[in-house]
Amino acid sequence: MYHPFDMQRRRILVTGAASGIGRATCVALSQLSARVSAVDIDAEGLAETIRQLAGDGHSQIQLDLTQLDQIAPAVTKDAAANGSLSGAVHAAGLPCVEPIRLLEPDAYRRALIVNTEAALSLARAFQRKDVCAPDGGAIVFVSSVMGLVGSPGSAAYSMSKAALHGLARGLALELAPRRIRVNCVAPGFVNTPMFARLAGFWDPQERARVEADHPLGIGSPEDIANAICFLLSSAGRWITGCILPVDGGYTAK
């Protein structure tokens, strides 16, 4: 029976796969019968993600995404060994909460490389004819509501995430003739290890304020994973160049 979200016979590569949104995306994709190529620097976290996946045929790639020149060789090698890719998700990301007086280049460069430049390198690797499936595919960048709106201390992080929106729109038009769609999901605050670390610094008033900013409450990684699966699946086949907020109403105000 046809199901528009079915991912059978599709291999999807996911960065940031060892925790949070990346891991939840891997799990959701496997439950939709996709095969997953899970990428992260954290070998232990990757192994745990692989243990949580449904089905078989998954692969894991331990990779430091700050080494941009290592991304294409790793992706190409995975495709040669395990089959061409129908999708790629860039969920890897680093936080950067600094007032402008601390934003020396070294303070934000790592976040910019992992959040933004690695996404471009991943897209370059994915669109190669020896990597992408012949009938095309879909790329999803995980950006952030901070790429759509601002917040004190978010300037560098917002810059890194807003750049993904420009990247997605440009690539969407460039790659449409090859049936490769490119979209972003822009999550609000989601219960991930990155959020837990940040929330640990807040006082109860700040926590209450952030929660109140999300009319539907703080999200779960699965909420973002479901939206990513939608954009990757046939159900999203006419969607490209889209920035989809998945934020419990954060940007509705």
Partner 1 sequence: MSSLYSTLTKLLEVDAVQPDDKLRDFDNWDSLTVLSLCAHVDASCGVSLSAQDLQAVNTVDDLERLIASRKAA
Q: What does the alpha-carbon distance between residue 226 and residue 91 come to, in Å, rounded to a whole number?
A: 13
Q: What's the Rg (C-alpha) of the chain?
A: 17
Residue 41 near partner 1 by CB under 8 A: no
Applying CB under 8 A, the span of 12-20, 30-38, 170-178, 202-210 interacting with partner 1 comes to: 202-210
Contacts of 52 (CB under 8 A, 6+ apart): 23, 26, 27
Which one, 68 or 198, has the nearer CB to partner 1?
A: 198
Task: Give least dist CB 137 to partner 1, A.
Answer: 37
Task: Give least dist CB 202 to partner 1, A.
Answer: 6
108 is catalytic: no
**Buried-exposed string 140-149: b where 16+ CB fall within 10 A, e elsewhere:** bbbbbbbbbb
Site string for partner 1, 133-172 (x = CB under 8 A): -------------------xx-------------------
Residue recorded with tokens 């950006």: 143
Task: Give least dist CB 113 to partner 1, A.
Answer: 17
Task: Give least dist CB 203 to partner 1, A.
Answer: 4
Which one, 105 or 152, has the nearer CB to partner 1?
A: 152
Half-sphere exposure of 16 (CA within 13 A, CB side): 26
What DSSP letter does each residue of 80-136 carry, written as one string?
A: HHH--BSEEEE---------GGG--HHHHHHHHIIIIIHHHHHHHHHTSTTTB-TT-
Active-site residue, from 2, 108, 157, 250 = 157
3-state secondary structure of 227: helix
Q: Encoding tokens for residue 170?
A: 């440009």
Residue 204 near partner 1 by CB under 8 A: yes
- 85-124: which residues touch partner 1 (CB under 8 A)? 97-99, 101-102
Point out the residues that are catalytic: 157
Residues forming the site for partner 1 (CB under 8 A):
97-99, 101-102, 152-153, 197-198, 200-204, 206
